Amino acid sequence: MALSLPPFVRSLSSRLLLLTMVFVLLAEVFIYVPSAARFRLEWLNGRLAAGHLAALSVRAAPEGMVTRELEAELLRHVGAYAVDARVTDMRVLMLMAPDTPAPAERYDLAGASPWVLIRDALLLLPRQENRVIGVAGPSPKDAGVRVMLLIDEAPLRAALLDYSGRIVLLSIVISVITAGLVYLALLVMTVRPMRRLVEAMMAFKRDPESTGPALTLATDRDDEVGIAQRELIALQAAVRQALRQRQRLAALGTAVAKINHDIRGVLASATLLSERLLSSPDPDVQRTSGRILEALERAALLCGQTLDYSRDGLLPLRKAPVDLHALIDAVGESLRPGAGLVWDNAVPAGTTLLADREQLFRVLANLGRNAVEAGAARITLSARSSPGRLELLVSDDGPGLAPRARENLFVPFAASTRANGSGLGLPIAQEILRAHGGDLRLLDSSGSGTVFALGFPAQGMRK
């Protein structure tokens, strides 16, 4: 199924735009809450200042007396039912309308903390009924004068709602503008380069041999996007080289398989002829025929190993419970321990592992055969376990591996130092262990011997 870039509504660009707007609006909410409390405080301070001025008007009247009409006019100007002005707890002037209602709640602006002001402002917004409240605080005109008012709360709530509406509208405008600017910046700096990266990867998936899309990513940016672009170009080049090499190896493998088939047929015919020579009464002919048979067996083994390695992967594993102790005994018998080889099986009897018996036999036989050919007279196999892991140790008393062999231990065709070796035994053994979920490691190799560790996951093991 061909992949394509998502439409704008589901793209990274739209998500960035939406998230920017949401974050700006969220920031505006945090700004609005204290600003709403500040607006309420300023509105009430304005009423206190108007009340102070009204009280001063009474003071300026002859003998400090005003008519009922003037008192009503002053209260209407302040928007209050009553005004009380005091200096050091002494009443100076007072205005009061007839039938003044009792306040539902009193607020003292002088002792209110910022949290209290924020709380009162937030509680005011959802309130529907009109209440009469008492407000007290120092006059903004003269801090020495304390003014107390009785006012309706509805005008304050209406003014706060109007202020909130303006803030919301301004926040939306700011969020849209900010989101647009951030979006444009991100579009140029991140989104477009990322889309080019995605397009280049999709084009590479469709046609790995094409170099066109990768060249368009060339950039001199020194940030993360530039590094990602350059790394993608390098990765594509490495993958193309690996693909070309794999194609050559695949062609070589096909040729090797065909050549192996023909060579093994020739070797089979030569083996039959050599076996006939063994029946010759001439001792020299018999001795020479035996050597020829050994050489032919080695050639057939080399062809088989090369053919196995040229296949696309190992044969499928047929896992089943395997008695390791019994398997190791069988491997030892196949190596002819009677010919001067001591095969020491130190694995506890009854140790069972879930594995492919034939493949595991192949690995152990290969390690044992390598040790014998290197000159080992004693091979010891033991087991050790740790949480989640079982290790089978194969130790010998041979002269150890040569430095060149240790450097290319698991490199195909390069690990062997013997003239007739293929260098495929250990690489194939390592692949078999990896197919089991384990590994093959060289623990030690010196003049006193060599130790290999075959690691297995402990799942399915019992002792």
Contacts of 409 (CB under 8 A, 6+ apart): 401, 415, 426, 442
Region 195-209: mean pLDDT is 76
- β-strand 145-152 against 342-345: which pairing, if any? unpaired
Adjacent-strand bridge partners of 355: 320
pLDDT tens, position by position, 214-248: 555 556 677 777 777 777 777 877 877 777 777 77
Q: What is the pTM of this model?
A: 0.46
Residue with the larger pLDDT of the pair 343 and 201: 343
pLDDT band at 3 (very low <50, low <70, confident <90, very high): very low
Coil, helix or strand for 320? strand
pLDDT tens, position by position, 294-321: 666 666 665 665 666 555 455 567 888 9
Report how far apart, in Å, the C-alpha atoms of 418 and of each of 176, 193, 293, 298, 423 are.
Answer: 76, 55, 19, 12, 9
- Greatest mean pLDDT among 109-113, 234-238, 324-328 lies in 324-328
> Does 265 have pLDDT greater than 60?
yes
Q: What is the pLDDT of residue 158?
A: 92
Q: Which two tokens stand for residue 165?
A: 């509406």
Report how far apart, in Å, the C-alpha atoms of 223 and of each of 216, 219, 343, 350, 376 are.
Answer: 17, 11, 61, 60, 58
Residue with the larger pLDDT of the pair 368 and 58: 368
> Does 203 have pLDDT greater than 80?
no
Q: How far apart are CA 81 and CA 73, in angstroms?
A: 11
Torsion of CA 61, 67, 72, 77, to 10 degrees: -20
**By CB neighbour count within 10 A (0-12 exposed, 13-18 middle, 19+ buried), where does 354 fall?**
middle
| CATH 3.30.565.10 fits domain 320-457 | yes
Q: Which two tokens stand for residue 211?
A: 């170099």
Mean pLDDT (the chain, rounded): 78
pLDDT tens, position by position, 4-50: 555 666 666 677 778 877 887 788 788 888 898 999 999 999 988 88
Q: What is the pLDDT of residue 8?
A: 60
pLDDT band at 206 (very low <50, low <70, confident <90, very high): confident
Angle ∠(426,429,433) on CA atoms, nearest 5: 135
Asked if residue 8 lies in contact with residue 14, where contact means CB atoms within 8 angstroms, the answer is: yes
Instruction: Phi first, then psi: give them for residue 139, nearest 5 degrees.
Output: -70, 135
Residue with the larger pLDDT of the pair 236 and 363: 363
> Does 415 have pLDDT greater than 80?
no
Place of tokens 């899309």: 213
Edge to edge, the sheet with strand 378-386 lists 342-345, 378-386, 389-396, 449-457, 439-446
Neighbours of 318 (CB within 10 A): 10
> Does 381 have pLDDT greater than 90?
yes
Q: What is the pLDDT of residue 382?
A: 93
Q: What is the pLDDT of residue 306?
A: 61
Where are the domains positioned within the chain?
Answer: 8-176, 224-310, 320-457
- Element (H or E) spanning 136, and its range? strand 132-138
- Element (H or E) spanning 232, and its range? helix 224-277
pLDDT tens, position by position, 119-174: 988 899 888 888 999 998 888 888 888 888 899 999 999 999 999 899 888 888 88
Q: How far apart are CA 398 and CA 418, in angstroms?
A: 15
- β-strand 105-108 against 132-138: which pairing, if any? parallel
pLDDT tens, position by position, 430-455: 888 888 888 888 888 888 889 999 99
> Does 1 have pLDDT greater than 50?
no
For the chain, what is the largest distance between any 2 Cα atoms, rounded to a whole number of angstroms?
A: 160
Q: Which two tokens stand for residue 171?
A: 């926040």
Q: What is the pLDDT of residue 380?
A: 92
Q: What is the pLDDT of residue 459?
A: 58
Share of the chain above pLDDT 90, in %: 10
The per-residue DSSP string of 347-413 comes to SPTT-EEEE-HHHHHHHHHHHHHHHHHHT-SEEEEEEEEETTEEEEEEEE-S----HHHHHTTTSTT
pLDDT band at 112 (very low <50, low <70, confident <90, very high): confident
Adjacent-strand bridge partners of 453: 393, 441
Region 397-416: mean pLDDT is 71
Q: What is the pLDDT of residue 236?
A: 77
Region 95-101: mean pLDDT is 79
Region 59-84: mean pLDDT is 76
